[in-house]
Chains A and B, each alone.
Chain A
Amino acid sequence: MTNVTLNPQQPKTAEMAQRMDEVKGRSLWADARTRFLRNKAAMVSLVVLVLVAGFAFFGHALSPWDNETIDWDVLGNVKEMGKPSLANGHFFGFDDSGRDLYNRVVQGTRISLMVGVVGALIAVFVGTTYGAVAGFIGGRVDNAMMRFVDIAMSIPYMFVLILLLVVFGRSIGMLFVGIGLTAWLDMSRIVRGQTLSIKNKEFIEAAVATGVPWFTIIRRHVVPNLLGVVVVYATLLVPQMILTESFISFLGLGVQEPLTSWGALISEGTSTMGYGTLWQLFFPLGFFVISIFAFFFIGDGLRDALDPKDR
């Protein structure tokens, strides 16, 4: 199995490596865009995601209600009177506290999309950089950086969050800090693993031999070769981030009533699913599922588009 890394088309000389790279550098993003635009599933998903985002930011305009006012006549009898109805403008019915569910889903979508996207971006940027640097430099630096990750993976996360709350008070900003703290850890381990393998390839060795600065090598040679895995893993992280938000909010650090999120809505809907108000689970979960599907196909499309071997 020694031919695993054999790559006959790689240029053998350092000079060629340099030139090839410049050619690639110019066409990489244009190529990727063309390929991505040709991917039907990804394009449909992108449209879906744009629609969901549009719903999140402009959906409230379609409804005469808001996300916090309680309808006292419905409260207490949501099961019978709180059903979804186009006639009275409560498109998604009522939540268990007698509030308009449509507007709550709209507003929850706004929070959760932001959480998912920001969390995934932090994971991608911090995790990739950290993992690639550790893996590429290797040795003691790698060992120290990875032991730090071991510690960060095992430290009682909840206390970190509580301390953040005590020190900085609650705010949406702190929610993203709380999410970001752990989002990148697994990513950095995956990226480092890939980097360890990539750095032994001949084109990297060639670049090292010609004295290209290490950070440039990481940026131009290593990262493009592991983007596929990064993008796919990032899409796996999105639903995790969105659900982690509800735990952070449980501690009082994140989103507070009357604001809400998909995580909170889904968990409320789950707790009442046995009592005849299934729409309370169905609508938020539906939006969650649709969006995660879209994220996944976009991720796959990006992966295909960015694959350097296809170029």
Chain B
Amino acid sequence: MHISMKSALFASALAFASPALAAGTAPDGSALADDQTFTYRVLDEHSSVDPQIVEDVSGSEIVRDLFEGLYNQDADGNLVPGVALSHEVSEDKLTYTFSLRPEAKWSDGKPVTAGDFVYGWRRLADPETASPYQWFVSVMGLANGEAVTAGEMGVEELGVSATDDHTLVVTLSAPLPYFPLTTTHASTFPSPKWVIDEFGADWTAPENIVSNGAYVLTEHVPQERSVRSRNEMYWDNDGTIIDDVVALVINDENVALTRYLAGELDRTEVPAGQYPSMKEEYPDQALSFPRLCSYYFNFNLSDRGPEATMNNDVRLALSYAVDRDIIVEKVLQGGQFPAYSFTPAATANFEVPTVDYSTWTQDERNAKAVELMASAGYGPDNPLELTYLYNTSEAHKKIGIAVAQMWKQTLGVAVTLENQEWKTFLETRGDHDFQVARGAWCGDYNEASTFLDLVHTDSGYNDAAYHNEEVDTLLGEAKSLEDPQANYTRIEEILAAEMPIIPIYHYAGVYMMSPAISGSWPVQNVEQNWYSKDLYKVAE
């Protein structure tokens, strides 16, 4: 384990127990605004508010407000008690025993019990629920997880049980040091069996839903808005400041920004390239902070890939010739970070290894790239031809245009840009029917393996079809190591030497945010797991 989980949790549990805020005063001491309604923009309608069914980011944001799992995250992304106050780990590191908060209640007044978690987790694993996050029980490493999802064992065999109403016992199939981190994921939240039994698929409608989080769903107009309001039954209702949270669906980011400027929203995204001028005009409203996501190009190392990029030197040359500084400073301009490693620097307990080309100047990289291309037999007489595949989107297009020009101007590569609509793109890329294709990945949890697992030979997301025995072995070992940094460093070094993917940049969250709310926004939380109950609006 990275930190002494139990003592850390215990300390913060104490801190939580004594909020004693004077009415109308924010935790930082400033005066609170009268209207505590937080309104923000979402790109698209959420998929569901059922914890075991939801699969999209904006849906999970709502679910984190409506339901509460074992642990929550604080403003820095550390675990803090949710329904669970603390846990103990057995000697063999296979059994976790969680003590649940006795005062936790559902919005209909029923107590939240360990049985509600057991029901929720079994529901997640049950093939009949057909949850798109069913595989999360394997990520958590629950005993018998895979057999249950395959329908080979009954859900009762899943490694989770309740010894009494307030004690939850979890059994893992193998030690997993970061297991507690997975309990902040929406799919691990408890579900109210009695409500689901009564209403079936309609249980998430505002008039039926019962939830145990700080908020309850009070209104939902699809493709327009959803509203969640304070849950009077929530155990920390007194410490909750925001009364209502409104999510407005606005597809067009430019329209959303217009509406933000008109005062209709407290938060919206800044379109690519507009951050500098927003920052200049509204210095206290434009925010940028690191996110746990990586943007990269895949080469195609499968049988269907082009001959040229099977050559290691060609792949290195193409990577070296990408001027990442131009991408982040001139194309995106939102405080993103140039990437020379796959795993973002923002990842917890991960130190970015120094790979050689990250220390060179771009001129040095370009010179090296030209040299490598020439040695591979490509030059003005024999120019390399490549097709770059991306899914249709303004930002992806801009990056594709810029990189194509870099390759053309530096290396004389003739690049054909090819865009496809999202699902066609996924199918084409998944079939390895491309030469170079874009890819992006956001961490499921804050640990480097959530990124590096992608280059494992068997990973479903290894679109480059990369295969390296050593990498596979290092990844396997890392799972149960107390400090896997050495393995991660070695993997990143191999990636830099063989370049199956070209890291381009690491994400930043780039927002316009009302100054009233931005003081309480968890900018340090790189996964951006935010909880409305921790926000507040100060008086202007």
Contact = CB atoms under 8 A, between A and B. Distances in A.
A96 B421 contact: no
Interface in A250-264: 250-252, 256-258
Contacts, number: 71
A70 interface: yes
B330 interface: yes
A96 B405 contact: no
A97 B398 contact: yes
B394 interface: yes
A75 B400 contact: no
A139 interface: no
A66 to B, nearest CB: 11
Given A69-B405, A96-B273, A275-B277, A256 B331 contact: no
A68 interface: yes
Contacts of A268: 394
A213 interface: no
A250 B333 contact: no
A270 B254 CA distance: 9
Interface in B319-334: 326, 329-331, 333
Contacts of A257: 397, 400-401, 417, 419
B421 A252 contact: yes
Nearest to B424: A162
Contacts of B447: none
Interface in A60-115: 68-70, 72, 75-77, 79, 96-99
A258 B401 contact: yes
A233 B409 CA distance: 47
Contact of B326 (A75, A166, A271): A75
B405 A251 contact: no
A8 interface: no
Nearest to A270: B254
A271 B416 CA distance: 25
Interface size class of B (residues with CB under 8 A): 20 to 34
A173 interface: no
B462 to A, nearest CB: 24
A251 B277 contact: no
Given A162-B424, A166-B424, A271 B254 contact: yes
A276 B257 CA distance: 14
B331 A274 contact: no
A256 B398 contact: no
B375 interface: no
B326 A258 contact: no
B505 to A, nearest CB: 14
Contact of B331 (A76, A79, A272, A276): A76
A268 B254 CA distance: 11
Contacts of B257: 274
Among B402, B417, B420, B424, max chain A CB count under 10 A is at B420
Given A75-B330, A76-B331, A252 B402 contact: no
B385 to A, nearest CB: 15
B419 A256 contact: yes
Interface residues of A, number: 29
Interface string A272-294: 10111000000000000000000
B274 interface: yes
Given A75-B326, A274-B257, A170 B418 contact: yes
A275 B258 CA distance: 11
Given A79-B277, A166-B424, A72 B254 contact: no
A175 to B, nearest CB: 14
A256 B424 contact: no
Interface in B378-413: 392, 394, 397-398, 400-402, 404-405, 409
Nearest to B418: A256
B180 interface: no
Given A250-B421, A251-B421, A276 B401 contact: no
Interface of A is mostly: loop
A165 interface: yes
B271 interface: yes
Interface string B325-367: 0100111010000000000000000000000000000000000
A174 B134 CA distance: 41
Nearest to B323: A72
Contacts of B330: 72, 75-77, 98
B405 A68 contact: yes
Given A69-B405, A76-B329, A274 B417 contact: no
A96 B277 CA distance: 14
A135 B532 CA distance: 64
B333 A252 contact: no
Contact of A250 (B271, B392, B404): B392
Contact of B254 (A75, A162, A166, A274): A274
A268 B409 CA distance: 25
Contacts of A69: 405, 409
A70 B394 contact: no
A250 to B, nearest CB: 5
Contacts of A72: 326, 330
Given A76-B330, A252-B392, A97 B402 contact: yes
Contacts of B254: 270-272, 274
Interface in B500-539: none
Contacts of B417: 256-258
A252 B424 contact: yes
A70 B401 contact: yes
Nearest to A79: B277
Nearest to A78: B273
Contacts of B277: 79, 275-276
A141 B233 CA distance: 69
Interface string B212-233: 0000000000000000000000
A271 B424 CA distance: 25
A271 B418 contact: no
A75 B420 CA distance: 25
B274 A275 contact: yes
Contacts of A162: 421, 424
Contacts of A272: 254
A271 B419 contact: no
Which among B326, B405, B416, B424 has the highest number of chain A CB atoms within 10 Å? Answer: B405
B524 to A, nearest CB: 28
Contacts of B273: 76, 96
A251 B424 CA distance: 9
A251 B330 CA distance: 27
Nearest to A170: B418
Interface in B228-247: none
A72 B326 CA distance: 8
A304 B307 CA distance: 62
Contacts of A250: 392, 419, 421
Interface centre among A75, A98, A275 (most CB of B within 10 A): A75
Given A76-B273, A99-B401, A251-B424, 8 more contacts: A76-B331, A97-B401, A250-B421, A252-B420, A257-B400, A257-B401, A274-B258, A275-B277
- The 7 A-B pairs of least Cβ separation, nearest first, read A76-B330, A252-B420, A257-B417, A75-B330, A70-B405, A251-B421, A97-B401
5 contacts: A69-B405, A76-B330, A76-B333, A97-B331, A275-B277
Interface of B: 254, 257-258, 271, 273-274, 277, 326, 329-331, 333, 392, 394, 397-398, 400-402, 404-405, 409, 416-421, 424
